[in-house]
């Protein structure tokens, strides 16, 4: 045999050994590949199921995202509309603010004039109040003078009534004398006139000093008041009675005419007009 043949024989032997080893190795690993295949197949099935689930979840999320985008677009449009409306309101408010500012400036001038008018009115009111106080003081003074004049007038009226009664008495006495002269001369008897002499009744007793004389108002004629007490109770001319109603002071009465059981006088220090039945007392 040649060397080449020997080399080929050796190579064939080595190749056969390698092939036999590879076959043995392949046969030994065949079961492992099958197990790996089953595992990979199962894993592929699981992954396919998970992929399907993920696809479904993805579709759901995409749908939600689309809905969110649509909702956000609607909200964005609404916000843009609100923004435009707010911008319009802002411009309107600015115009109104400018208008109100002008009105405020105008009212400021009006208020300045009004304050000046108020100050003038206050000064006028103060002056009027002073004049009113003066008029009240003068009124009180005039009222006192009027009361005094009324008292004097009533006293004169009483005197005139007394003089008129005296005149009637004298006329009756004269007529009686003339009748007696005509019928046969004067008689020695005293001629008594029909009209009695008007004398002021003197009190039986005089009230002691410090005694409170009390009575009631029995008649009211303007400024002339008649009381239910007289000289028999110690009443004298120019005596002052205080007229009250309950605990309230009404006025004073200055006595100008006194009878036995009654007296009359004029009002003074009038705070309220008296009425029949009010209490009269010389002491409060």
Q: What is the pLDDT along the chain (284 residues), one digit of tens a residue?
A: 577 787 877 888 888 888 887 777 766 666 666 777 788 888 888 988 888 888 899 999 999 999 999 998 999 999 999 999 999 999 999 999 888 888 888 888 888 888 888 888 888 888 888 888 888 778 777 877 776 787 777 778 777 877 877 888 888 888 888 887 887 654 444 444 444 444 443 333 334 455 789 999 999 988 889 999 999 999 999 999 999 999 899 999 999 999 999 999 999 888 999 999 999 999 87
Task: Please indicate, yes or no, if residue 259 is contained in any of the structural domains.
Answer: yes
Task: Please indicate, yes or no, if residue 127 is contained in any of the structural domains.
Answer: no
Structure tokens at 43: 């894993």
Task: Please indicate, yes or no, if residue 203 is contained in any of the structural domains.
Answer: no
Q: Rounded to two decimals, what is the model's pTM?
A: 0.31
Q: By residue range, what is the domain housing residue 226?
A: 212-284
Cα(284)–Cα(277) distance, integer angstroms: 17
Pairing of strands 248-258, 279-281: unpaired
Q: What's the domain count of the chain?
A: 1
Task: Please indicate, yes or no, if residue 270 is contained in any of the structural domains.
Answer: yes
Task: Please indicate, yes or no, if residue 29 is contained in any of the structural domains.
Answer: no
Task: Please indicate, yes or no, if residue 173 is contained in any of the structural domains.
Answer: no
Query: For position 278, which CATH number holds?
Result: 2.40.10.340
Task: Please indicate, yes or no, if residue 218 is contained in any of the structural domains.
Answer: yes
Whole-number pLDDT of residue 206: 37
Task: Please indicate, yes or no, if residue 280 is contained in any of the structural domains.
Answer: yes
């Amino acid at each position: 045999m040649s060397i080449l043949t020997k080399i080929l024989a050796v190579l064939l032997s080595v190749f056969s050994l390698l092939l036999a080893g590879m076959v043995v190795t392949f046969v030994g690993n065949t079961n492992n590949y099958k197990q790996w295949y089953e595992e990979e197949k199962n894993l592929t099935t699981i992954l396919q199921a998970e992929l399907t689930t993920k696809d479904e979840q993805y579709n759901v999320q995409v749908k939600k995202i689309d809905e969110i985008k649509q909702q956000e677009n609607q909200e964005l449009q609404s916000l843009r509309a609100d923004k435009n409306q707010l911008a319009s309101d802002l411009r309107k408010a600015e115009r109104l603010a400018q208008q109100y500012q002008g009105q405020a400036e105008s009212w400021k001038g009006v208020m300045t004039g009004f304050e000046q008018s108020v100050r003038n009115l206050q000064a006028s009111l103060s002056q009027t109040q002073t004049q009113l106080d003066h008029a009240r003081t003068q009124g009180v003074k005039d009222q006192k003078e009027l009361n005094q004049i009324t008292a004097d007038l009533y006293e004169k009226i009483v005197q005139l009534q007394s003089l008129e009664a005296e005149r009637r008495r004298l006329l009756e006495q004269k007529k009686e004398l003339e009748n007696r002269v005509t019928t046969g001369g004067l008689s020695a008897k005293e001629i008594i006139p029909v009209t009695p002499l008007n004398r002021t009744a003197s009190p039986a007793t005089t009230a002691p000093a410090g005694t409170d004389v009390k009575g009631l108002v029995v008649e009211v004629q303007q400024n002339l008041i008649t009381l239910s007490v007289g000289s028999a109770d110690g009443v004298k001319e120019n005596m002052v009675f205080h007229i009250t109603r309950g605990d309230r002071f009404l006025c004073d009465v200055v006595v100008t005419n006194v009878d036995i059981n009654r007296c009359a006088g004029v009002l003074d220090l009038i705070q309220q007009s008296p009425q029949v039945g009010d209490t009269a007392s010389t002491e409060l």
